[in-house]
Amino acid sequence: MSDPLHRAAPEASDADPRGGRRGAQDALQDPRRGAWAKYWRMVVGDVGAGAFLWYELVTGLFGDWPGALGYWLRAKFYPRLFRSCGRHVVFGRRLILRHAKRISLGDDVILSDGVVLDARGQAGDGIRIGDRVFVGLHSVVTTTDGTIELAEGCNIGAFCRIGSYGRTRIGRKALLAAYVYIVGAGHETARTDIPILDQPYTTRGGAEVGDGAWIGAKATVLDGVKVGEHAIVGAHALVTQDVPPYAIAVGIPARVTGSRLDRSPAGG
């Protein structure tokens, strides 16, 4: 794990949805707080000393343990870190877990090496990961005061980023290729006398990827947009508007170029 007290990257993930200020980042930079309090708040949130010490102990001892023994140790000791955890969950090496008491894991979930799960905040339901979900190498799933659902059996490729300040859902058996970005928020830009960074953040409620949809490599789905069930979004697309179920959409901005239903031998 890198230095836990590093300055958070200047991304919308640190905005405060209610106050419009960059709540988490401001808290980390508040000179009135000690380093210990900042660390505690950042990694585990408002939990008791027991949960905090357990987090420190098991992630410190086993988080970086290589090989099969590392997987075994994490499978044994990591489940208690979470709000709930199903059976046979695979915990990769060097996971970064934030506010894990707001994260639920189903059965047979696989979290690959370097995955980041961050469910900070008080509102919303945090992160809910259904049965048989696969999260690929170094993907980031992050919400502040929101809810992210990765529904049963969906597959998140490597190096994806899924953010939310509202409610974001990746549907059942949906497939996200590598480097997909599901955007969770934007920034107010009305004032020109102060930096955008200091203006309130905005959200359109979160994005949704329907059941069975396929999002191609490096595509971006903007906040407030729904990709319909079983639709296809081409590689490198920028999805700014809803995509109907079974549609194929490509380009920047993404435009619908056809429907899978027209190609299906069964006609649907």
Task: List residues with catalytic annotation.
Answer: 187
Q: Which of 89, 95, 129, 232 binds ligand COA (CB under 6 A)?
A: 232
Interaction of residue 228 with ligand COA, rule CB under 6 A:
no
User: Which residue in the shown chain puts its C-beta closest to ligand COA?
Assistant: 234
**CA separation, residue 210 to residues 28, 79, 173 (Å):** 36, 29, 9
Interaction of residue 75 with ligand COA, rule CB under 6 A:
no
C-alpha triplet 147, 156, 116: angle, nearest 5°: 60
Interaction of residue 209 with ligand COA, rule CB under 6 A:
no
Least distance to ligand COA, CB of residue 236, Å: 6
Interaction of residue 255 with ligand COA, rule CB under 6 A:
no
Interaction of residue 81 with ligand COA, rule CB under 6 A:
no
Residue by residue, DSSP assigns 215-242 as: E-TT-EE-TT-EEPTT-EE-TT-EE-S-
Least distance to ligand COA, CB of residue 204, Å: 24
Interaction of residue 204 with ligand COA, rule CB under 6 A:
no
Interaction of residue 146 with ligand COA, rule CB under 6 A:
no
Torsion angle defined by CA atoms of residues 80, 39, 223 and 84, in that order, rounded to the nearest 10 degrees:
10
Lookup result for tokens 């200091």: 198
**8 A C-beta contact, residue 128 and residue 167:** no
Q: Which of 250, 228, 229 is nearest to 239 (CA)?
A: 250
Residues 148-187 touching ligand COA, rule: CB under 6 A, are: 177
Least distance to ligand COA, CB of residue 176, Å: 8
d(CA 189, CA 201): 9
Q: Which of 29, 84, 122, 257 binds ligand COA (CB under 6 A)?
A: 257
Least distance to ligand COA, CB of residue 225, Å: 17
Q: Which of 55, 234, 243, 247 binds ligand COA (CB under 6 A)?
A: 234
Tell me the number of residues near ligand COA by CB under 6 A: 12
Q: Which of 217, 229, 244, 256 binds ligand COA (CB under 6 A)?
A: 217
Select 27 or 178, whichever has its Cβ closest to ligand COA.
178
Q: Buried (b) or exposed (e) across 140-178, using 16+ Cβ within 10 A?
A: bbbbbbbbbbbbbbbbbbbbbbbbbbbbbbbbbbbbbbb
Least distance to ligand COA, CB of residue 262, Å: 10
Residues that bind ligand COA (CB under 6 A): 177, 216-217, 232, 234-236, 248, 250-251, 257-258
